[in-house]
Amino acid sequence: MSPWTLRDYLSVPYVLVVESYPESDGDWARRAYYPELPGCVAEGRQTAELFTTLDRLRVQTIVDALRQGEQVPVPREPIPRLDVEDLLIRTGLTELVDRLDTKTE
């Protein structure tokens, strides 16, 4: 598939790892990350907020790499018909909706 659009890159299913760990106060926190996307790590106690933060970081990492002309890791094919618009709405990045179908390469 070439050339790719931002929608294509945002539809790539990356491996997600989530770990729970005890904090010093006895409560539990979580660390979630995409090992295939360097720097995409989020930590917190609220799981829903953690995933929103991590999704936002994933989108920003991909967009920043494309802006800088860097290679975006693509370990597998994009998921067809993924609701990328909803992803951008949930993460507060609606300004990117107009750029979804623009060719990036």
> What are 12-40's pLDDT values in tens digits?
999 999 999 999 999 999 999 999 999 99
How far apart CA 86 and CA 64 sit, in angstroms, is 20
Domain segments of the chain as ranges: 6-99
Q: Which CATH class is domain 6-99?
A: alpha beta
- In sign, the C-alpha dihedral spanning 94, 98, 101, 104 is negative
pLDDT at residue 3 greater than cutoff 90: no
Q: What does the pLDDT average to over 73-100? A: 94
* pLDDT reported for residue 88: 95
Q: What does the pLDDT average to over 70-80? A: 94
Please list the residues that pair with 18 across neighbouring strands. Answer: 32
How far apart CA 61 and CA 39 sit, in angstroms, is 8
First and final C-alpha spacing in the chain: 11
